[in-house]
């Protein structure tokens, strides 16, 4: 009888992970031992597992360095147009395995560790997630960096090196407790500090108007210290840079009045300046007008623009002499992409630099600014839009406020709607009323040559509603760029079994050209392929079940359907609709058989999971501390993906694409990218339910009355009564009263309106799941329809249609290619 393959044997089989040549393995072992000795100052007798991880990380990083330096040399010598992707979030996750995949080193490293008696997965598990993002927006930025490098674009990601990323989430007695994410505690082997490129950033002060221009004086200075992280492309020898800024107090910080007491206090006060890069704000889709946040936004923008202009002026590698002073060429050499409005200060800051420092006329500077900048919008929710109080601006950035006022004056003057005062008021950058505010989305639209939404339906909604006035004035600015995900991390790395099964049928080129997945359609009735796809899914479920048992102490049946909803908690994502289905399903199947309701515990999960009648047939689990690394484990194991936002509220979603690529079927509304997923895979191959955007609008006009649904649908009434009556919280019967009150009286997202259709759709899901072969056929149609959702396609569109750059699949020469070195 053959024994199952171990992970080690399995990885050795996988061709998409690179060949483990004997020389490769020997060299890796040698370098590993060298780093253990010289970098970590340890020997095998005292080294810990973390030491081994760091030794391996440095060994793999060595393979990046030559490519990294060469790539930057190549850019300096060829002087291509460069794109600067500015984002307050980069949700990178772990770096080691991704680097091994992109450099085709994984099998060789795996073999080397095996020969050294070490377990690769254990070492990978020592790496901290770089959690410098909240969710979709930050993870999108990370996928984009991977694609920009894989497409050979001269690209830079610019952001903040937060000392503390997204908090670690603990659930204690059913309540969330946040703990600081001290991700840099043990050091970060992937970053390189660059103190030689430190830049001053100014705050506060006042402006002086002189005949020769405006001066911003009496400012407080904070230094921006850059840390560079290499971003390797997929097997093309390109290594781009993500540069994250850290705040440092200058040496003379508050040391003017020198006495011992004052000196000690001044040194302690340095923390105030350095707080700028201390912590990531954990709000997503909600604007909170805090001074520290505005400081962060200006900090990253000011430091980045200084870098951009320095690099623009210096054209040849190794020379710091100023070679280029004609700023009219800036838009030919520089593209700046603003990831949402968080980096919107780039627009007034670029104007300040060009007008005040480089002495260009306003008209010339404005033309350059607009042609250089482009803006991506990520949400239509009004509470998420940034609207900064004018008073705060005046205090923190007085010169920028003057510039914004001037931009607004000229914008309203040239408006094509003179005399239409209502429209001009709506289009103003300054919102009048109680407290004057600056509308940052309006600033971005006016100061950019391109504005894009992130799925077709979202871009259409922007043009028809939120930005309608601007669209009517400048329709040429508005575009769509449907989001995508990198297939390197979200297939090859996290689901090697599926990647291999696909490669056996259509070859490996799909990894850099995901459209080739269409070739799987001809295998949709192929018995062997159906069997292979189902087998990989079952193996992934088994592995995830073991992970849950080990880390969450929950035992689940790997033969049951894994129905997963991955979303930040927000009303529009409608986790409550999912809860109502769970309760309804539980009531139908098991409620009548329950004999001892007094033993039921605090929440739905506790009630269901502890019901002896239910057994292992239904489990409800909330996985705490969701992050990129947990996604990489859970997504390949999912059978059903829940994408159930109210139509017209989710801009795009990218989790939906990750589930689809990894062989889950989608139950969802016609919202965000779900619409395009249905187009690509065939609507029959998704479980679509609920109101469309037009239906939601219609319901808004008629008026949404939750009690009508409550009175008409007995199962909904039963579920709501159970929640309200303390069935799921017997020790605190009133615990969920507020939720019930919201659902019944002020639910903006109309959960009850979609309840009936959702329950019916879930019945279809259950029926199909009982027919594994037909289920897997739909899975194959979905995987085959994923080509559009590669971030490579998204980035190629940004490059051609917004940045004026041409992607290339050509490889750079490898560092050890001596012939190529001569040809450089």
Sheet holding 665-668, edge to edge: 563-564, 640-643, 665-668, 687-688
DSSP string, 565-627: ----S-GGGTHHHHHHHHHHHHHHHTGGG-S-GGG--SSHHHHHHT-TTTTTS------SS--
Q: Which two tokens stand for residue 281?
A: 């704000």
Does residue 574 have an active-site annotation?
A: no
Which positions ≥6 away from 632 have C-beta within 8 Å?
A: 93, 489, 493, 494
How many residues are given for the chain? Answer: 824
Does residue 555 have an active-site annotation?
A: no
Choose among 370, 363, 338: nearest CA to 440.
Answer: 338
355 DSSP assignment: I
Choose among 761, 762, 783: nearest CA to 534.
Answer: 783
Distances 773 to 533, 636, 660 between C-alpha atoms, Å: 10, 19, 17
Choose among 442, 308, 426: nearest CA to 386.
Answer: 442
Task: Give me the catalytic one of 199, 243, 573, 574.
Answer: 573
Does residue 568 have an active-site annotation?
A: yes
- Per the CB < 8 A criterion, the answer to whether 559 and 528 are in contact is no
Task: Give me the catalytic one of 17, 74, 442, 567.
Answer: 567
CA distance 362 to 413: 15
The angle subtended at Cα 578 by Cα 764 and Cα 92, nearest 5°, is 110
Task: Give me the catalytic one of 49, 316, 568, 748.
Answer: 568
The tally of CA atoms less than 13 A away on the side-chain side of residue 433 is 10
Task: Give me the catalytic one of 379, 482, 646, 654.
Answer: 654
Residue 418, SS3 per DSSP: coil
Q: Which two tokens stand for residue 453?
A: 């939404």
Residue 491, SS3 per DSSP: helix
How many Cβ atoms sit within 10 Å of the Cβ of residue 50? 14
CA-based R_g, the chain, Å: 28
CA 90 to chain centroid, in Å, comes to 6
3-state helix, strand and coil shares in percent for the chain, rounded to the nearest 5: 55, 15, 35
CA distance 552 to 730: 24
Distances 475 to 451, 560, 799, 802 between C-alpha atoms, Å: 10, 50, 20, 15
Task: Give me the catalytic one of 627, 658, 778, 793.
Answer: 658
CA distance 799 to 333: 13
Of the chain, the end-to-end C-alpha distance in Å amounts to 56
Residue 279, SS3 per DSSP: strand
Does residue 567 have an active-site annotation?
A: yes
Which positions ≥6 away from 422 have C-beta within 8 Å?
A: none
CA distance 435 to 429: 14
Place of tokens 């070679």: 323
60-87 burial, b at 16+ Cβ within 10 Å, e below that, comes to bbebbeebbebbbebbbeeeebbbbbbb
CA 251 to chain centroid, in Å, comes to 36
Does residue 202 have an active-site annotation?
A: no
Does residue 793 have an active-site annotation?
A: no
- Per the CB < 8 A criterion, the answer to whether 5 and 100 are in contact is no
CA distance 213 to 132: 39
Q: Known catalytic residues?
A: 378, 567-568, 573, 654, 658
């Amino acid at each position: 009888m053959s024994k199952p393959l171990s992970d080690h044997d399995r990885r050795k089989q996988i061709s998409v992970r690179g060949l483990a040549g004997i020389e490769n393995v020997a060299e890796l072992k040698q370098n590993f031992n060298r780093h253990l000795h010289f970098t970590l100052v340890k020997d095998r007798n005292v080294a810990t597992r973390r030491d081994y991880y760091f030794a391996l990380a440095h060994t793999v990083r060595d393979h990046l360095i030559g490519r990294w330096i060469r790539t930057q040399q190549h850019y300096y010598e060829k002087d291509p147009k460069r794109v600067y992707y500015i984002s307050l979030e980069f949700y990178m996750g772990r770096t080691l395995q991704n680097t091994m995949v992109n450099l085709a080193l994984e099998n060789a490293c795996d073999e080397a560790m095996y020969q050294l008696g070490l377990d690769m997965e254990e070492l990978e598990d020592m790496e901290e997630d770089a959690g410098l993002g909240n969710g979709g927006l930050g993870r999108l930025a990370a996928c984009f960096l991977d694609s920009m490098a894989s497409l050979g674009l001269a690209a830079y990601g610019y952001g903040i090196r937060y000392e503390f990323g997204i908090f670690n989430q603990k659930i204690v007695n059913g309540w969330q407790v946040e703990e600081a994410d001290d991700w840099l505690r043990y050091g970060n082997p992937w970053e390189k500090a660059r103190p030689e490129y430190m830049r001053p950033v100014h705050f506060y002060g006042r402006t002086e108007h002189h005949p020769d221009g405006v001066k911003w004086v009496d400012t407080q200075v904070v230094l921006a210290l850059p840390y560079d992280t290499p971003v390797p492309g997929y097997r093309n020898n390109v290594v781009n840079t993500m540069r994250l800024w850290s705040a440092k107090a200058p040496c003379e910080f508050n040391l003017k009045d020198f006495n011992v007491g004052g000196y000690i206090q001044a040194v302690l006060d340095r923390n105030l300046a350095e707080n700028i890069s201390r912590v990531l704000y954990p709000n997503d889709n909600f604007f909170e007008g805090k001074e520290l946040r505005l400081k962060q936004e200006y900090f990253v923008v000011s430091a980045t623009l200084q870098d951009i202009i320095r690099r623009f002026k210096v054209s040849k590698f190794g020379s710091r002499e100023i070679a280029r002073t004609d700023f009219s060429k800036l838009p030919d050499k520089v593209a700046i992409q603003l990831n949402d409005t968080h980096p919107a200060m780039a627009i007034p800051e670029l104007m300040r630099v060009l007008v005040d420092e480089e002495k260009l006329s306003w008209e010339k500077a404005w033309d350059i600014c607009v042609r250089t900048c482009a803006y991506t919008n990520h949400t239509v929710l009004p509470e998420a839009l940034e609207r900064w109080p004018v008073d705060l601006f005046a205090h923190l950035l007085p010169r920028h406020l003057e510039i914004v006022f001037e931009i607004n004056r000229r914008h309203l003057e040239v408006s094509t709607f003179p005399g239409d005062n209502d429209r001009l008021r709506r289009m103003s950058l300054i919102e009048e009323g109680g407290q004057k505010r600056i509308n940052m989305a309006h600033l971005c639209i006016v100061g950019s040559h391109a504005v894009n939404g992130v799925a077709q339906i979202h871009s259409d909604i922007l043009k028809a509603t939120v930005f309608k006035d601007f669209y009517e004035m400048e329709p040429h600015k508005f575009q769509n760029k449907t989001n995508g995900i990198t297939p390197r991390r979200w297939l090859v790395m996290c689901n090697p079994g599926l990647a291999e099964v696909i490669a056996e049928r259509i070859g490996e080129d799909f990894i850099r050209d995901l459209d080739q997945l269409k070739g799987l359609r001809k295998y949709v009735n192929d018995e062997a392929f159906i069997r292979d796809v189902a087998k990989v899914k079952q193996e992934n479920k088994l592995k995830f079940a073991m992970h849950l048992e080990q880390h969450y102490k929950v035992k689940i049946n790997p033969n049951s359907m894994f129905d997963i909803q991955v979303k930040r908690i927000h009303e529009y994502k409608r986790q409550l609709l999912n809860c109502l289905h769970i309760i309804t399903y539980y009531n139908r199947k098991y409620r009548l058989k329950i004999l001892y309701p007094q033993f039921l515990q605090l929440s739905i999960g506790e009630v269901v999971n502890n019901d002896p009648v239910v057994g292992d047939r239904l489990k409800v689990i909330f996985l705490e501390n969701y992050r990129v690394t947990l996604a990489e484990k859970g997504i390949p194991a999912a059978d059903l993906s829940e994408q159930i936002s109210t139509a017209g509220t989710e801009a795009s979603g990218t989790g939906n694409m990750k589930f689809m690529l990894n062989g889950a079927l989608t139950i969802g509304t016609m919202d965000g990218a779900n619409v395009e997923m249905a187009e690509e895979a065939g609507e029959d191959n998704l479980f679509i339910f609920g109101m469309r955007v037009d239906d939601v609008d219609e319901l808004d006009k008629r008026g949404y009355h939750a009690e009508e649904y409550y009175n008409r649908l007995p199962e909904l009434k039963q579920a709501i009564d159970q929640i309200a009556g303390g069935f799921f919280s017997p020790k605190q019967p009133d615990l969920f009263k507020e939720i019930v009150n919201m659902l019944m009286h002020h639910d903006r997202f109309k959960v009850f309106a979609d309840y009936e259709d959702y329950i019916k759709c879930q019945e279809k899901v259950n029926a199909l799941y009982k027919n594994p072969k037909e289920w897997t056929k739909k899975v194959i149609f979905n995987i085959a329809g994923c080509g559009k959702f590669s971030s490579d396609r998204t980035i190629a569109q940004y490059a051609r249609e917004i940045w004026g750059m041409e992607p290339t699949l050509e490889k750079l020469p490898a560092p050890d290619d001596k012939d190529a070195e001569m040809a450089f």
